[in-house]
């Protein structure tokens, strides 16, 4: 459409703005609101991470000082207040070791299960599962250890470690053939404990 005069153009703009102005303003406000909301969320996450890191450092110090109650308290705080961060899982791993060294085996196992359940990172989760299975084996909870291995042995990164533990478990149950197969698999997968596993294999052959 052609407009002959500036007045006609101005009137056309006014009409267009009257028809569309509200939607444009609303869209702009929504866009600005989304940006502002995103920035607020980012700032909140950064503040949470900072606060969680402080609690985690306190947990680490308590573990170093062998203060089991304080370790448990800080781990609980991380789980309850900072669940959207990775710190609850990391804290639970540290807490499990400290609690086990203090003789609080059941609580150590609970912390490892917490790390498995709450970790946003599959590597941390599998590491916690491996430690839980080892602890269960050490406590002669063979069926529980077998179930943990079966459930969480799903990552190539930990396959050699789980295979070695399968060998220990089979040997404890008197299944020498299964133990030998598991140990050999652990070596084939590049276990960092290959030298120790070969000694176990040698002992099986001697016996």
pLDDT tens for the chain, 207 residues long, are: 444 455 555 555 455 555 655 555 555 555 656 555 546 545 655 777 888 889 989 999 999 999 999 999 999 999 998 887 888 999 999 999 999 999 999 999 999 999 999 888 888 899 999 999 999 999 999 999 999 999 999 989 999 999 999 999 999 999 999 999 999 999 999 998 899 999 998 888 776
Indicate the pTM of the whole model: 0.75
**Coil, strand or helix at 139:** coil
**Coil, strand or helix at 72:** helix
CA angle at residue 32 from 31 to 38, to 5 degrees? 90
Token digits for 56? 């985690």
The predicted structure's pLDDT at residue 3:
40
């Amino acid at each position: 459409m052609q407009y002959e005069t500036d007045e006609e153009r101005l009137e056309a703009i006014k009409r267009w703005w009257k028809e569309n102005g509200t939607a444009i303003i609303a869209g702009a406000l929504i866009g600005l609101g989304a940006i502002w909301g995103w920035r607020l969320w980012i700032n909140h996450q950064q503040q949470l991470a900072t606060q969680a890191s402080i609690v985690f450092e306190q947990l680490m110090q308590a573990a170093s000082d062998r203060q089991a109650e304080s370790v448990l308290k800080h781990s609980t705080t991380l789980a309850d207040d900072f669940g959207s961060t990775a710190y609850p899982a990391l804290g639970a791993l540290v807490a499990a070791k400290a609690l086990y060294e203090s003789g609080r085996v059941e609580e150590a196992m609970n912390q490892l299960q917490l790390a498995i359940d709450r970790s946003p990172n599959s590597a941390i989760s599998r590491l916690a599962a491996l430690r839980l299975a080892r602890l269960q084996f050490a406590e002669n909870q063979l069926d529980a250890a077998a179930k943990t291995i079966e459930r969480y042995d799903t990552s190539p990164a930990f396959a050699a470690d789980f295979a070695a533990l399968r060998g220990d478990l089979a040997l404890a149950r008197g299944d020498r053939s299964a133990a030998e197969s598991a140990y050999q698999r652990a070596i084939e997968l590049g276990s960092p404990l290959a030298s120790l596993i070969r000694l176990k294999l040698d002992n099986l052959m001697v016996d």
